[in-house]
C-alpha cells in the first residue's frame, strides 16, 4: 500500500510597499478622523504601492522570501497559485508573470479571483494537487494593489484598504500539515461587496469612470453581520474537520479586515481565543487576498509560530465567499 501524501507549509514570506498612508493623511482627503477610523476598524495606517509596483512585483518579492525560508530553489517549484482581485492585466495571469520573473521554468500557474477569501481558495487547490501526488512543491501567493481600485472620495471605503503580498511554499510531506479545509460561496449576495465595472457586463466608459464604478463598493452593515457569522461557522467547521477543539488551537490568523469583526468572531468561538489571535491590521488595513499570508509570515518572523502548533486561518470576502483551514506547523 502506498504511503499517504500530505501537504505542509515549508516556508512563508511577505512584502509591503514603503509608502505609509496614515489616518492623519486621510483626514486631509475626506471627511473623517483618526479617532473615527480607529474606533470603527482598528486601522492606524496602510501601505500604498508606488506607481512602478504591481501585483506581480509584490507577489514576486513575497515568493522569493518564502522560497528562501523554505530552502527551495525556483527550479523546484511545479505550480504557482496566485490569489488576487487586482491582477496586472486581464491576461496573461499574474501567475504567468511571476513564473517568468522567478525563473520557475517547470511550474504551471493560474490566478484565483475570490477577493479576501482568495488565499484560502488557492491554498486548498494547491494542497489538493500535492495530496493527489501530481505536484510535490507549490507556491501559493496572495497579492493585491487595492489602491488602484479604491474610491479615494468615499470615506466609508477608502479608510479600509491597503497594498501588499504574502506567500507560502507548500511541499509534500509524510505528516499532516494542512489538516482541514472548508470553502464556500453565496452568489446571491454578490452585490454586497463588488467592483461593478470593468468586466463584460459593464465595460469601461466615461460614465463608469465618472461614477467610480471601477472601485470597491461595499454595503458595510450587511457585510459586517454576514462576515461575523460566516467566519465563526467556518472556523468551527475547520476545527472540527481537523479532529480538534477550539482549545487545541495555538494561533489564529484571521483575515485582517476589521478589528470589530475579529473580536466578535473570537468572542463567539470561546473564552481566551482573542489572546491567540495574531493581528497586523492596524499597520496594513485590509489587503484582501494578501491579508492572511502576510500576517502568517509576520507571525513567523515574530517567533509566534513553533513546530507542532495548530494554526487556524479563516477569511471572508466578496462573492460572497469564505474559507477556513487548520494547519499544523511542522
| Contact assessment for residue 172 and residue 136, using Cβ atoms and an 8 Å cutoff | yes
Last residue of a domain, one of 125, 140, 174: 174
Q: What is the pLDDT of residues 266-320, one digit of tens each?
A: 999 999 999 999 999 999 999 999 999 999 999 999 999 999 999 999 999 998 9
250: nearest Cα among 302, 324, 301, 312: 312
| Contact assessment for residue 130 and residue 162, using Cβ atoms and an 8 Å cutoff | no
Answer whether residue 1 shows pLDDT above 70. Answer: no
Give the C-alpha separation, 154 to 29, whole Å.
10
- The answer to whether residue 72 sits within a structural domain is yes
Domain hosting 27: range is 6-174
Q: What is the pTM of this model?
A: 0.96
Residues 155 and 185 in one domain: no
Last residue of a domain, one of 156, 174, 192: 174
Residues 59 and 96 in one domain: yes
Burial of 265 (0-12, 13-18, 19+ CB in 10 A): buried
Last residue of a domain, one of 148, 174, 200: 174
Give the C-alpha separation, 275 to 151, whole Å.
34
pLDDT score of 218: 85
CATH of the domain at 76: 3.40.47.10
Give the residue numbers marked as catalytic: 116, 255, 286
Residues 140 and 202 in one domain: no
Residues 190 and 275 in one domain: yes
Amino acid at each position: 500500500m502506498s504511503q499517504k501524501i500530505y501537504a505542509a507549509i515549508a516556508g512563508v514570506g511577505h512584502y509591503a510597499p514603503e509608502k505609509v498612508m496614515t489616518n492623519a493623511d486621510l483626514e486631509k482627503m475626506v471627511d473623517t478622523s483618526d479617532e473615527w477610523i480607529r474606533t470603527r476598524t482598528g486601522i492606524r495606517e496602510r501601505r500604498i504601492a508606488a506607481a512602478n509596483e504591481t501585483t506581480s512585483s509584490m507577489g514576486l518579492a513575497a515568493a522569493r522570501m518564502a522560497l528562501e525560508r523554505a530552502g527551495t530553489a525556483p527550479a523546484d517549484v511545479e505550480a504557482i497559485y496566485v490569489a488576487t482581485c487586482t491582477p496586472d492585466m486581464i491576461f496573461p495571469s499574474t501567475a504567468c508573470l511571476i513564473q517568468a520573473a522567478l525563473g520557475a521554468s517547470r511550474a504551471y500557474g493560474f490566478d484565483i479571483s475570490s477577493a479576501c477569501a482568495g488565499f484560502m481558495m488557492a491554498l486548498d487547490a494547491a494542497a489538493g494537487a500535492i495530496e493527489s501526488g501530481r505536484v510535490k512543491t507549490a507556491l501559493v501567493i496572495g497579492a493585491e494593489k487595492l489602491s488602484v481600485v479604491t474610491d479615494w472620495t468615499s470615506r466609508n471605503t477608502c479608510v479600509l484598504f491597503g497594498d501588499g503580498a504574502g506567500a507560502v511554499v507548500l511541499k509534500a510531506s509524510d505528516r499532516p500539515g494542512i489538516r482541514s479545509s472548508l470553502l464556500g460561496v453565496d452568489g446571491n449576495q454578490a452585490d454586497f461587496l463588488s467592483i461593478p465595472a470593468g468586466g463584460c457586463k459593464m465595460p469601461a466608459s466615461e460614465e463608469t469612470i465618472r461614477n467610480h464604478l471601477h472601485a470597491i463598493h461595499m454595503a458595510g452593515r450587511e457585510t459586517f453581520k454576514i462576515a461575523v457569522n460566516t467566519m465563526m461557522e467556518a472556523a468551527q467547521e475547520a476545527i472540527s474537520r481537523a479532529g480538534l477543539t477550539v482549545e487545541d488551537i495555538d494561533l489564529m490568523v484571521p483575515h485582517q479586515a476589521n478589528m470589530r469583526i475579529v473580536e466578535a468572531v473570537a468572542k463567539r468561538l470561546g473564552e481566551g481565543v482573542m489572546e491567540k489571535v495574531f493581528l497586523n491590521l492596524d499597520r496594513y488595513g485590509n489587503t484582501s487576498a494578501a491579508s492572511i499570508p502576510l500576517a502568517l509570515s509576520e507571525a513567523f518572523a515574530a517567533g509566534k509560530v513553533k513546530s507542532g502548533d495548530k494554526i487556524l486561518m479563516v477569511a471572508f470576502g466578496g462573492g460572497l465567499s469564505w474559507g477556513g483551514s487548520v494547519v499544523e506547523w511542522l
